[in-house]
Amino acid sequence: MALRLFSRRAIAPSADIEAASLRSDRFRLEREVDWQRLELIVEALEKNRPRRIADDDLLELPVLYRKAASSLAVARETSLDAATLAYLESLVRRAWFQVYGPRSGLFAWLRQFLGGGWSAAVRDLWLDICIALSVMVAGTIVGWLLVESDRQWFYALVPAGMAGGRQPGASREALQEALQGTENAEGLTVFAASLFSNNSGVCILAFALGFCFGIPTLLLLVQNMALLGAMWWVFAGAGLEWEFAAWLSVHGTTELFAILLSGAAGLHIGRSMAFPGKQSILAAASASGRRAAQVMVGCVIMLVIAGLLEGYARQLVGTAAGRAGIGAAMLFFWISYFLLVPRPPDHAGGKAR
């Protein structure tokens, strides 16, 4: 009796293993043709040889991927053999990158972005750029006029830590010494660093606040440029408006251009939401958001370049003419790039409405 019981217990696990093996083999045989077909397509795409793939196979790629993903789910649920499970996990992972993954690598994307994608996106925002530029010029004039009418406006517009003693009533000698880049010009360097930090924050906010129909973006541009107008008034009062403009232009032409584009990007989103046309507000915001996001990626690059110019070029060049020359060269470079670099053939940014 004990011997027969032992024999049954020994035979039962063996039968279960054999049944599971048969079930796994049957599962694989029923679907293996589709898996192999998917694997051949994926291998050709991974080797960048899409011409070797038949049109029918390429059209079937999403369907074959979903079938393989479904098979993987069943394999996990029914605990099929480890080899089948590992094969399906690898195949589904590789197929996912071909179906949903990025179409190009980082360097290929960067080459396309700098080779025309960015400039095309900027040109698509030409109307918003014109509006933002007008608002920035108006903000600078407003800051100048407010301080000219009442000096107390300077302290309302320019934070004390940013001014660093460059305020109404400062002597011409103190202001000129700061502009000459001498060892005693530490305060103006602090102002430049504070201005860069402030402008970087303005770029981010100007874009982010565009979703409020662009109104906060316009107000932010006015406030930021009023600060610059107030500081410019101080130097102009001492007869140093040209020297201050040259000092600022080294990095300012790049930095202020980035603010202009950021404001235009935010305004573009807000304008599309306020006037969506035949689209829904969400659809219009989505389309304009993709276009504006490309512009913002470029603004990050511009801010990095502005930081390098501020940290090195402005310190190495001490004359107003030399500084103005650098600023003018950078402005010419940016304008030429945005106007002359053609749109890439496969650029899908879309035209602005």
290 and 272 share a domain?
yes
3-class secondary structure per residue, the chain: CHHHHHHHHHHHHHHHHHHHHHHHHHHHHHHHHHHHHHHHHHHHHHCCCHHHCCHHHHHHHHHHHHHHHHHHHHHHHHCCCHHHHHHHHHHHHHHHHHHCCCCCCHHHHHHHHHHHHHHHHHHHCHHHHHHHHHHHHHHHHHHHHHHHHCCHHHHHHCCHHHHCCCCCCCCHHHHHHHHCCCCCCHHHHHHHHHHHHHHHHHHHHHHHHHHCCCHHHHHHHHHHHHHHHHHHHHHHHCCCHHHHHHHHHHHHHHHHHHHHHHHHHHHHHHHHHHCCCCCCHHHHHHHHHHHHHHHHHHHHHHHHHHHHHHHHHHHHCCCHHHHHHHHHHHHHHHHHHHHHCCCCCCCCCCCCC
318 and 185 share a domain?
yes
What is the tally of structural domains in the chain? Answer: 2
112 and 205 share a domain?
yes
Q: Does any domain span residue 184?
A: yes
Predicted pLDDT of residue 12: 47
Which of 90-94, 281-285, 298-302 has the largest mean confidence?
A: 298-302
Structure tokens at 285: 């915001």
User: How much is the mean pLDDT over the chain?
Assistant: 81
Q: Does any domain span residue 35?
A: yes
Predicted pLDDT of residue 118: 94
Predicted pLDDT of residue 10: 47
209 and 241 share a domain?
yes
**Does the pLDDT value for residue 141 go beyond 90?**
yes
pLDDT digits over 204-250, tens only? 888 888 888 889 999 999 998 999 999 999 999 889 999 999 988 99
Q: Which residues contact 326 (CB under 8 A, 6 or more apart)?
A: 249, 250, 309, 313, 317
**Does the pLDDT value for residue 128 go beyond 80?**
yes
Domain final residue, candidates 82, 99, 116: 99
168 and 25 share a domain?
no
Domain final residue, candidates 43, 74, 99: 99
How does residue 189 score in pLDDT terms, banded at 50, 70 and 90? low
Q: Does any domain span residue 1?
A: no
Predicted pLDDT of residue 319: 85
131 and 242 share a domain?
yes
Q: Does any domain span residue 122?
A: yes
162 and 54 share a domain?
no
Domain final residue, candidates 53, 71, 99: 99
46 and 118 share a domain?
no
81 and 216 share a domain?
no
Predicted pLDDT of residue 188: 53
Q: 0.85 exceeded by the pTM?
A: no
26 and 122 share a domain?
no
257 and 324 share a domain?
yes
Q: Which residues contact 264 (CB under 8 A, 6 or more apart)?
A: 125, 128, 129, 131, 132, 295
Q: Does any domain span residue 248?
A: yes
Which of 12-26, 117-131, 273-287 has the largest mean confidence?
A: 117-131
134 and 180 share a domain?
yes
pLDDT digits over 241-291, tens only? 999 999 889 988 999 999 999 999 999 999 998 888 888 888 888 888 888
Which of 24-33, 65-74, 339-348 has the largest mean confidence?
A: 65-74
Range of the domain at 92: 16-99
